[in-house]
Amino acid sequence: MHVDHAPAAATFLEELDLFASTVTGLDDDSLVAASHCRGWTVGDVVVHVHLGLQEMLLGLVSVVESAPDTDAGSYWRASLPTNDEAADRLDNVRFVRLLAAAYRRPSGLVRHLLPTVDGVRSAVRALPSGAVRFQGHVLSTGDFLATWAVELAIHQLDLARELTPAPPTAGSLRLTRATVEALAGFALPASWDDRTVALLGAGRIRPDAAQSELIEARLPVLG
């Protein structure tokens, strides 16, 4: 699955601005509401996104001449580098919760996020079309930005368990659907809206009986 640089950059920046404006409008009580991420509050999701954007910056400054070995679909199957081979998903859940709890008030974690958002926005606007090295792989810049647009779209949906934020942008939801279908290996019914496909693809909702029969346990596919 390949995504060209210009549309991927536009989609990512639109979704980045939406996520930032959404969380900026949340008060302390809203930030401790439950999210769709198991074990995380809305504020925990914000911390997770902040950590991700900080890591994304490393990719944005790692332009290479090498040919890509990973695309916008296969990226989601690639193993993430780690400095702790014994760590598992629960360790990550607890780490993010502990980091979020270190802020004096939940609103502090949003204030900490915003300068990183500004830095990422500027770096993406300056990024030339080509390839970058990220997490031990080489991706085209379009595919790299596409994976992050999908990441942000999923986390925008994660905010909506107890709250009613704006939905992800239409472009990022279309990109998420394309990613889910590429990983699943087949097109999902057109009657399933992009939001439903994103939630199923990320394992945020359980399929009903009819959906389960069709997808044959091939979802979720997004880690």
Residue range 32-50: average pLDDT?
96
pLDDT at 160: 97
pLDDT at 86: 58
Share of the chain above pLDDT 70, in %: 96
Is pLDDT of 35 > 60?
A: yes
Residue range 5-13: average pLDDT?
98
pLDDT tens per residue, range 46-80: 999 999 999 999 999 999 999 999 999 999 987 76
C-alpha distances (whole Å) from 148 to each of 9, 30, 84, 95 are 10, 25, 24, 21
pLDDT tens per residue, range 78-116: 776 655 565 667 888 899 999 999 999 999 999 999 999
Q: Which two tokens stand for residue 167?
A: 């939905």
Short-list 122, 142, 121, 117, CA closest to 132: 142
Query: What is 26-77 written as a DSSP string?
Result: --HHHHTSB-SSTT-BHHHHHHHHHHHHHHHHHHHT-EESSPPS--TTGGGG
pLDDT, the chain, mean? 93
Which stretch of 165-174, 202-211, 213-222 has the lowest confidence by average pLDDT?
A: 213-222
